[in-house]
Each structure stands twice: as C-alpha cells, then as structure tokens.
Amino acid sequence: MFLGEYTHSLDSKSRLTVPAKFRDHVATGLVVTRHPQGNCLMAMPLDQWAEVAERVSDLALTNPTTALLRRMLFSSAEDLKPDKQGRILISQRLREMAGIENDVVIAGINTYFELWTPAEWHKSLAPLSDPAMVGEMFAALGI
C-alpha cells in the first residue's frame, strides 16, 4: 500500500529517490506513465501494472475511447528499476508531460503513487477546502 505525501528533488541526472516506505513494493521494477486525469505521472509496481494492462487490453478495440486510453497509457509508459539507492531515472519526455523540473511531490494513492509538481499538487487539492464537497465524498461511501 502506498500512503503519504513526500517532497523530493531530482538530482543532477534527473533521478528521483523513491521514498523509503515505497521501495520494497517497487524493488523488482515499476512502470511510470501519464496519469489519465491530471497533470502528473503515475507509478505502479509491475504486478499492479500487469493487472491494469490486462484490463485495458480486454476492452473493445473498436471503441474510440478505448483506443485513446490505450494510446495514452501504453505509449507514454516506461518500465524502470530503482538503483541500489532507491532512485529512478525520470526521462525528459515524462518530466515534460508533467511539467516536472526539480521538486517533485510523491503522493501515495493506495495501489500506486503519483508524481506532481508542487504547484499542480496544491491546485489538485483545492476542492478539498470545501467542507460540503468533502462531506459529499464521505457520504457517497456511506461513512
């Protein structure tokens, strides 16, 4: 499970240190790709990625929305393996997709984690300042 929020900086070689709490989950590798609903990247352990990839691959090829989803997820995906210090190399292509230049917010999202610029991360959380919206989210869960 990926939980918590961390801010790290890319090193001079564009490597990002994966938070220590996440490293065991991605030690054998992970996939980083464009997130479908935000100006960020998502990173998944290989087993989680395999499940998502299978579900997407099972969707109808003739559906235009499915075709777009496949293109977005698979063409931007890169499989990575952390080095001995727990760092991953974020390619320039992926950094440009998310606008990442130096500082990166790493947000645990249960089965995967997201990589954001600090500004975009804070912007994405703005709706949570509305107590009514937060109440509706919990009500929808029956909590």
Q: What pLDDT, in 10s, does the model give residues 5-44? A: 999 999 999 999 999 999 999 999 999 999 988 789 999 9
92 has a pLDDT exceeding 90: yes
Region class of 55: left (phi > 0), else alpha (psi between -120 and 50), else beta: alpha
Q: What is the pLDDT of residue 127?
A: 85
Q: Are the CB atoms for 46 and 54 separated by under 8 Å?
A: no
Q: What is the pLDDT of residue 48?
A: 95
Please report the domains of the chain, with CATH numbers, ordered by start residue: 5-118 (3.40.1550.20)
For residue 20, give Cα distances in angstroms to 17, 80, 81, 82, 127: 8, 17, 15, 12, 29
CA distance 21 to 1: 9
128 has a pLDDT exceeding 90: no
